[in-house]
Structure 1
Amino acid sequence: MLSQPEIAAELAARQPNFSLSRALYCDEGTYAADLEHVFYREWLFAIPACELDRPGAYATLQVGAYPVVITRGNDSVIRAFHNVCRHRGQRLCSKDHGHTPKLVCPYHQWTYDLDGKLQYARDMGEGFDAGKFGLKKVHCVDLGGMVFVCLADVPPPIAELAKPLMSYLAPSGLKDAKVAFSSSIVENGNWKLVIENNRECYHCGGSHPSLCRTFSDNPKIGAMDGPHSASDEILAHWTRCEGAGLPSRFVMHPTSQWRLARIPLLNNAESYTMSTKAAVAKRMGAMPFNDAGSLLFFHYPNTWNHFLGDHAIVFRVLPISATETQVTTKWLVHKDAVEGKDYDLETLTRVWLNTNDEDRLVVEENQKGILSPAYEPGPYSMIQEEGVVQFVDWYCRLMEGRLSPRPAMAAE
């Protein structure tokens, strides 16, 4: 198990544009450092806001050692808390999601309002101050219908993401959506391998026959250097979409932590379906046409997303161990779309259920190979794997900065 100075040495020794060392993918010390310096300090995508469809709705997630519960209060505000009773530490909510008028500890029935205030604690005696034992808050923001949480005491700035994301998501009307289907799988691979696999389509032609009916494996689709590198087809798509009120052009944060861009699907396909036609009769929000392509949005370290004319698909990645990762996918449709009339689940979900399972197999085989003592880092294709290089560089810069020893205080 590597120490943090040893992890820093592994990062410093890496060869640019090559995959990471075995220890950076597999070592338990690296996993612990990834939690401490990445997942416990960065904004993480948690849930689509529409999942909390009314006051009292809640959802839970596990981030490393931290169980978190997210609620919609009676004032309709979405809040997040550590899912830990302030009495003796019992987890308050054990289900993935549900509805409750109050948060009641199942152990001794300490009862909290949906805003985290302790309302009831039986037989605690005179002098007990309930005001000192409210639930511990987790930073939480709703950006255009996507709820992000941050476990840090002081979270990093999010304003640079908030403005463009809310603008780009506005036509999709996520506040008027609902979760039509949810899937959660465990991939037996390191979380970085899961993200890396998503950041390239070098493997798509050989692995994703369902997805490749509609999604192009042209590497320019994922170009990292912006509009000037885009093809005429993409530029024409942006012009058409923006003329209809859909923000579309490439925008990326200076650190490359997130990116937004609307891309066309193959051959004027309308949606990620086997027929290439729309899966849902009722469009999302104010989307003007079915063949608007897909608004692609990723945010490191734990989400990528697709927003189409007829539905949206949001993905959440959470590490479980050094070699296990939970991937949760939710399909969103207009809240008034009726299953069996406006859409059927098989048509809606088939392409990405297939793709997720195919990606799981790819990641697991990748992890098995990296676990071999014979593994050594190999070169990335700068034509096909530019997105992977960009993610790996982001991760390494972040970790190098946070693992660097702090300057010693000058002697007085």
Structure 2
Amino acid sequence: MLTESEIRSELAARQENFSLSNALYCDPGVFQTDLEQVWYREWLFAVPACELPKPGAYATMQVGAYPVVVIRGKDMRIRAFHNVCRHRGQKLCAHANGSTPNLVCPYHQWTYDLEGKLIFARDMGEGFDASAYGLKKVHCIDLGGVVYICLAEVPPPIADLAKTASSYLTPSGLSDAKVAFSSTIVEKGNWKLVMENNRECYHCGGSHPSLCRSYSDDPRRTAISGPDAANPEITNHWKRCEAASLPSRFIAGPRLQWRLMRMPLLDGAESFTMSTKAAVTKRMGTIPFNDAGSVLFYHYPNSWNHFLPDHAITFRMLPISPTETEVTTNWLVHKDAVEGVDYDLKALTEVWLATNDEDRRVVEENQKGILSPAYEPGPYSTIQEEGVIQFVDWYCATMTDRLAPKPAMAAE
């Protein structure tokens, strides 16, 4: 296992515009440091808010060593807590999701209300102060229908992202959506390989025949610093959408940690379907036409998303081990859309189910190759893999900043 000083050396030795070393993808010490310096400190996408439609609805997630439960309270506010009983540490909620009037520990039945207050603890004797044993809170915010959490004691600023995301996502009416289908897979690859694979379409033509019916693999359309402003197809699309009160233009956060823009699909396509037509007849929110394209929204370290006129697709990535990553995909439709009437589930999900499995295979073979003693970092294409370069630069800069030696205290 590499030490922090050895990790700093690996980061410093990386050649510009080249992939990372074997150790930075595979070493257990690097993985633990990734957890501590990235995953335990950044805002993470947790769930679409509509996955928790009523008080008591909850979802769980495992972030490294931390089990977390996200739950909607009686006041309809969504909160997050460490999924750990304050009695003897039992996990409160063992299932991925569910609904409950209160959070009850299965071990000794300590009971917490939906706001995390301890309301029942049997036979604890005189002097026991229940108010001192509420659930430990996790920072939680709803960004216009997508819920984020942060495990840090003091989370990084999120006001700019919250304002921007809410503006871009409000037309999709996510508060009036529901989860039509959910899929969770485990990819046998490092989390950085999963994100790298998502950040380019260099591989799309050879790997994703279904997706390429509607999504262009032209890097000029999805350039990390914004699409070609001289491309009339894109600029005219933005003007048309903005005239219909749909925020569209490229916007990004510091170090491009997050980005939003509304992108037209390929050749007038309406949705990610085999027919390229809308999968759902009942549109989302206030979007007035089927060919409004997709709002592309990514946020490092763990999410990329598509918000289309007929449905939305959210993607959440969580690290499991140095060479395993969990990817959860949710397909959202209007809450009043009826399966078999307003949409066919196969038509809705088949493109991204296939694409996710194709990506899984790509990542797993990529990981196998990097584990080989023959592997050495190779050059990225500055034309096709600009997004990968930017992500790896963000990762390296973030880790370098956070692992920088602390200045020694001056002697008095």
Tell me which interval the TM-score lies in, with the shorter structure as reference length: over 0.9
Which residue identity lines up with residue 332 of structure 1 in the other structure? L
- Secondary structure of 1:255 counterpart: helix
Whole-Å separation in 2 of the counterparts to 1:191 and 1:166:
27
Offset of 1:254 from its aligned partner?
2.3
Q: Who is 1:275 aligned against? A: 275
**Deviation string, structure 1 residues 221-261 (Cα, Å, up to 9, x no partner):** 22122355452211111111111111000001121100001
Map 1:269-348 onto structure 2 (within 5 A).
269-348=269-348
Q: Who is 1:32 aligned against? A: 32
Which residue identity lines up with residue 239 of structure 1 in the other structure? K
Which residue identity lines up with residue 134 of structure 1 in the other structure? G
Q: Who is 1:99 aligned against? A: 99
Contact preservation (8 Å) 1:273, 1:350: yes
Contact preservation (8 Å) 2:234, 2:264: yes
2:373 paired with 1:368: no
Whole-Å separation in 1 of the counterparts to 2:175 and 2:406:
44
* CA-based RMSD: 0.7
Q: Who is 1:384 aligned against? A: 384
Contact preservation (8 Å) 1:273, 1:351: yes
**Deviation string, structure 1 residues 149-200 (Cα, Å, up to 9, x no partner):** 0000000000110111000001000000000000000000000000000000
Which residue identity lines up with residue 62 of structure 1 in the other structure? Q
Contact preservation (8 Å) 2:214, 2:276: yes
Contact preservation (8 Å) 2:202, 2:385: yes
Would you say how many aligned residue pairs link Structure 1 and Structure 2? Answer: 412
2:193 paired with 1:193: yes
- Secondary structure of 1:366 counterpart: helix
Q: Who is 1:258 aligned against? A: 258
**Deviation string, structure 1 residues 324-347 (Cα, Å, up to 9, x no partner):** 000000000000000110011100
Using a 3 Å threshold, how does the CA distance of structure 1 residues 181 and 89 change in structure 2: closer, same or farther?
same
2:183 paired with 1:183: yes
Whole-Å separation in 2 of the counterparts to 1:241 and 1:376:
45
Contact preservation (8 Å) 2:73, 2:114: yes
Which residue identity lines up with residue 200 of structure 2 in the other structure? E
2:233 paired with 1:233: yes
2:207 paired with 1:204: no
- Secondary structure of 1:81 counterpart: strand
Whole-Å separation in 2 of the counterparts to 1:233 and 1:7:
45
Percent of matched pairs sharing the same residue? 75
Offset of 1:220 from its aligned partner?
1.0
- Secondary structure of 2:337 counterpart: coil
Contact preservation (8 Å) 1:227, 1:249: no
Whole-Å separation in 2 of the counterparts to 1:268 and 1:364:
34
Which residue identity lines up with residue 43 of structure 2 in the other structure? W
Q: Who is 1:2 aligned against? A: 2
Q: Who is 2:20 aligned against? A: 20
Contact preservation (8 Å) 2:81, 2:136: yes
**Deviation string, structure 1 residues 16-66 (Cα, Å, up to 9, x no partner):** 100000000000000000000000000000000001000011110000000
2:199 paired with 1:216: no
Map 1:130-141 onto structure 2 (within 5 A).
130-141=130-141
Using a 3 Å threshold, how does the CA distance of structure 1 residues 156 and 217 change in structure 2: closer, same or farther?
same
Map 1:15-94 onto structure 2 (within 5 A).
15-94=15-94
Whole-Å separation in 1 of the counterparts to 2:202 and 2:230:
18
Contact preservation (8 Å) 1:221, 1:230: no
- Secondary structure of 1:222 counterpart: coil
2:146 paired with 1:146: yes
Whole-Å separation in 2 of the counterparts to 1:224 and 1:352:
22
- Secondary structure of 1:272 counterpart: coil
Which residue identity lines up with residue 349 of structure 1 in the other structure? T
Q: Who is 1:158 aligned against? A: 158
**Deviation string, structure 1 residues 107-148 (Cα, Å, up to 9, x no partner):** 000000000000000000000000000000000000100000
Contact preservation (8 Å) 2:220, 2:228: no
List gaps (5 residues or longer) in structure 1: none
List gaps (5 residues or longer) in structure 2: none
TM-score (norm 1): 0.99
Which residue identity lines up with residue 295 of structure 2 in the other structure? L
**Deviation string, structure 1 residues 58-93 (Cα, Å, up to 9, x no partner):** 110000000000110001110000000000000000
Whole-Å separation in 2 of the counterparts to 1:188 and 1:377:
20
Which residue identity lines up with residue 122 of structure 1 in the other structure? R
Structure 1 stretches of 4+ moved >6 Å: none
Contact preservation (8 Å) 2:57, 2:97: yes
